[in-house]
Structure 1
Amino acid sequence: MAADRIASLTLSHVVLPLENPVSDAKVLTGRQKPLTETVLLFVEVTTEQGFEGMGFSYSKRAGGPAQYAHLKEIAEVAIGQDPSDIAKIYESLMWAGASVGRSGVATQAVAALDVALHDLKARRAGLPLAKLLGAHRDSCRVYNTSGGFLQASVEEIKEKATASLEAGIGGIKIKVGQPDWAEDLRRVAALREHLGDTPFMVDANQQWDRARARRMCRELERFDLIWIEEPLDAWDAVGHADLSRTFDTPIATGEMLTSVPEHMALIDAGYRGIVQPDAPRIGGITPFLKFATLAAHAGLALAPHYAMEIHLHLAAAYPTEPWVEHFEWLNPLFEERIDIRDGRMWVPDRPGLGFTLSDQMRKLTVETAKFSA
């Protein structure tokens, strides 16, 4: 077969409002405003032979327009390249935007195109992406976060948790890290009593210093949690590593990190917890898989952050049993839904990621840019 070439790219800047604003500990500590929307960068790629792929990246509160602007500036270098040469294309995009570095917005913008190329490759093969990568399982354990934010009362969280479990979700995560640590413990105790032996996680969203984190981790040991997430600043690799070696309850972190080297700092510090890389944030599926190989070699458990439409496939290809985070927020953007039952999220049998863009996604598109040969 003759080599194929990328014939066209379409970039879409999409603003998806949330039904209700949500607050985590960063809001209660005054560091951020409530979250009201998710901003996404979609990329649709078409080849000369007629194959197609779709990928996306996202931001919360800030950075969405910057992602779109950056990829719009450099995307043209992918035109005419062989879509199978994903790593080569990635490098060419990195060099095209070299002056702004290789993390943060620079790689998050490229992530959308990188995901689209992996989607295209799997579609062309007629396989779900997980199968193309080499799946270890057809489903992954799933937990819900969207019902556990801090603006909700304990009773509201209980109701949402019950609804999630009845819908087939296997675990529940709630937010902690508010200024009144005693209130955190009261909420955790109330949810643990409500949930019984259901898998239960908490997320402090980086709001404790090292002393408070040690005290809170000690207090939280009695609740038999699956993990305590982001007890410290996301870039405090040494602090997270220390906590992971000190307490029986696993420590989880990594969702905010935006490059493989930033994630590797955890391993280099002796981290023994759960890693939570986010493909759109780390720069796409290409760097995600690079770090996943290193994490597996280090014996670390995996629980990717957000973007379940992408991460289900990547988690299914991880050697040890992972968790996938359920957020229904992006549902309006896609025609299909993921099968969730028996506490697990099931890999679609459709080729690629297994999703097509909805009419609602088109209506929510603020601007587009097109590139062609």
Structure 2
Amino acid sequence: MTITGSPEAESAATAPGEPATDRITRIRLSLVHLPLHTPISDAKVLTGRQKPLTEVAFLFAEVGTESGREGLGFSYSKRAGGAGLYAHATEIAPELIGEDPHDIGRLWQKLVWAGASVGRSGLATQAIAALDIALWDLKARRAALPLAKLLGAHRDSVACYNTSGGFLSTPVEGILENATASLSRGIGGIKVKVGHPDSATDIRRVEAVREHLGEAVPLMVDANQQWNRATAQRIGSVLERFDLTWIEEPVDAYDTEGHAALAGKLDTPVATGEMLTSIGEHRDLLRAGACDFVQPDAPRVGGITPFLRIAALADEHHLDMAPHFAMEIHLHLAAAYPRTTWVEHFEWLEPLFNERLECREGRMVVPDRPGLGLSLSDQSHAWTTEQTTVGHRTT
């Protein structure tokens, strides 16, 4: 059974006078392991807390309805957790069968409470994210609108920066080559990883990249939570001279006070939030004034439904936003945010889909295809290790 990407689904917008209700009849869940060409390392590897990253696990949800409409969503996990996402999703997905897919907020709550004994954040809600995102994709497809337009876009393109070329496992010469290639593809900024045990190595690498890029190209650094407060203050002060767009996760993701103290002392903006997995955690972060750029991750917080609540909180706090990873989803969400936004370019996910996102003049362009504008590739099916279907196809 192939649900996503059928011609019928692409053209099935609601006709005048057509009933607005619909019912979910089937859900296909797939666990896909995407291998990386080269193992990559950031500061968490150099401190011995994690092993090099060799693959990313994805949970895909394809939701179909009795009217023939279809939606695609996904969540992901790095290093560990993919099998857990898939297992939890298979347990709770039957709760959606027979439901009206328009009732996304209510259905999100239903799924949360179906698995509440294992929590309302973390892995439990990351499994829900794939289903929630599929429902939003379905809703936008029904309206024959890109998801950004359905949400209320503020722009048709979003400033973008590349991360995948700047890991600590890449020699500085390779980072410079990758940066040149990224800029030639129309990407606007470059992020490099820091947090090397030898801080002088960090400084030399950042200095080399800044000299290579010149002063006009936005440059970000990411410490992946591996500095303590004193180190973050000391190195952050040294890095001020490179005119960085932000310093990302300088201290532990849950050290809200540490992030707030640093944000209050440095001229360089502080960015964080990607590791948080609930609305409440983001609310505490924002109330503490712990960042200048907030970086929510829709798959990690439980999908688009909670992401929109986090975005509303961020707007109330007058914060800029740079959602983490998953550009295929976050491009639409960033386009619908009223303040300054960035989207993170990772080409890693491209083999999973038949479509490609376009970057021009430093910005990623919102596609004009309905919904997320994605369909699964043959390669994604080849990398599928587990799959189950809930419900049935109507005749």
Q: TM-score, normalised by structure 2?
A: 0.94
Q: Match for residue 44 of structure 1?
A: 62
Q: Match for residue 320 of structure 1?
A: 339
Per-residue deviation, residues 329-369 of structure 1 (Å, max 9, x unmatched): 00000000001110000000000001111011111100111
Tell me if 1:224 matches 2:255. Answer: no
Corresponding residue to 1:263 among 282, 288, 309: 282
Corresponding residue to 1:338 among 357, 371, 381: 357
The separation in 2 between residues aligned to 1:292 and 1:98, in whole angstroms, is 24
Q: Secondary structure at the match of 1:174?
A: strand
Tell me if 1:138 matches 2:156. Answer: yes
Q: 1:2 Cα deviation (Å)?
A: 5.0
The one-letter amino acid of 1:252's match is A
Tell me if 1:110 matches 2:128. Answer: yes
The one-letter amino acid of 1:229's match is E
The separation in 2 between residues aligned to 1:65 and 1:272, in whole angstroms, is 33
The separation in 2 between residues aligned to 1:335 and 1:231, in whole angstroms, is 36
Tell me if 1:287 matches 2:299. Answer: no
Q: Match for residue 373 of structure 2?
A: 354
Given that 1:118 and 1:352 are in contact with CA atoms closer than 8 Å, whether structure 2 keeps it comes out as: yes
The separation in 1 between residues aligned to 2:80 and 2:196, in whole angstroms, is 22
Corresponding residue to 2:270 among 251, 257, 272: 251
- After TM superposition, the structure 1 = structure 2 runs for residues 1-373 of structure 1, keeping only pairs within 5 Å, are 1=19, 3-197=21-215, 198-372=217-391
Per-residue deviation, residues 109-149 of structure 1 (Å, max 9, x unmatched): 00000000000000000000000000000000000000000
Greater shift in the superposed pair: 239-248 or 286-295: 239-248
The separation in 2 between residues aligned to 1:40 and 1:232, in whole angstroms, is 27
The separation in 2 between residues aligned to 1:81 and 1:128, in whole angstroms, is 23
Q: Percent identity?
A: 67
Per-residue deviation, residues 185-244 of structure 1 (Å, max 9, x unmatched): 010111110010210000000000011111011111010000000000001111111111
The one-letter amino acid of 1:298's match is H
Q: Secondary structure at the match of 1:329?
A: helix
Aligned in 2, Cα 1:234/1:114: closer, same or farther, shift over 3 Å? same
Given that 2:271 and 2:291 are in contact with CA atoms closer than 8 Å, whether structure 1 keeps it comes out as: no
- In structure 2, the gaps of 5 or more residues are 1-18
The one-letter amino acid of 1:105's match is L
Q: 1:270 Cα deviation (Å)?
A: 2.2
The separation in 2 between residues aligned to 1:296 and 1:311, in whole angstroms, is 16
Per-residue deviation, residues 223-281 of structure 1 (Å, max 9, x unmatched): 00000000000011111111112111000001111111111111121234110000000
Aligned in 2, Cα 1:122/1:183: closer, same or farther, shift over 3 Å? same
Given that 1:241 and 1:273 are in contact with CA atoms closer than 8 Å, whether structure 2 keeps it comes out as: no
Aligned in 2, Cα 1:217/1:361: closer, same or farther, shift over 3 Å? same
The one-letter amino acid of 1:184's match is D
The separation in 2 between residues aligned to 1:272 and 1:21, in whole angstroms, is 30
The separation in 2 between residues aligned to 1:299 and 1:238, in whole angstroms, is 19
The separation in 2 between residues aligned to 1:261 and 1:185, in whole angstroms, is 35
The separation in 2 between residues aligned to 1:339 and 1:163, in whole angstroms, is 15
Given that 1:245 and 1:272 are in contact with CA atoms closer than 8 Å, whether structure 2 keeps it comes out as: no
Q: 1:85 Cα deviation (Å)?
A: 0.2
Given that 2:41 and 2:167 are in contact with CA atoms closer than 8 Å, whether structure 1 keeps it comes out as: yes
The one-letter amino acid of 2:43's match is A
Give the total of aligned pairs: 373
Runs of 4+ in 1 over 3 A off after TM superposition: none
Given that 2:63 and 2:71 are in contact with CA atoms closer than 8 Å, whether structure 1 keeps it comes out as: yes
Q: Secondary structure at the match of 2:124?
A: helix
The separation in 2 between residues aligned to 1:100 and 1:60, in whole angstroms, is 20
Aligned in 2, Cα 1:178/1:88: closer, same or farther, shift over 3 Å? same
The one-letter amino acid of 2:335's match is A
Q: CA RMSD in A?
A: 0.7
- In structure 1, the gaps of 5 or more residues are none
Per-residue deviation, residues 307-335 of structure 1 (Å, max 9, x unmatched): 00000000000001200000000000000
Given that 2:272 and 2:291 are in contact with CA atoms closer than 8 Å, whether structure 1 keeps it comes out as: no
The separation in 2 between residues aligned to 1:3 and 1:29, in whole angstroms, is 53
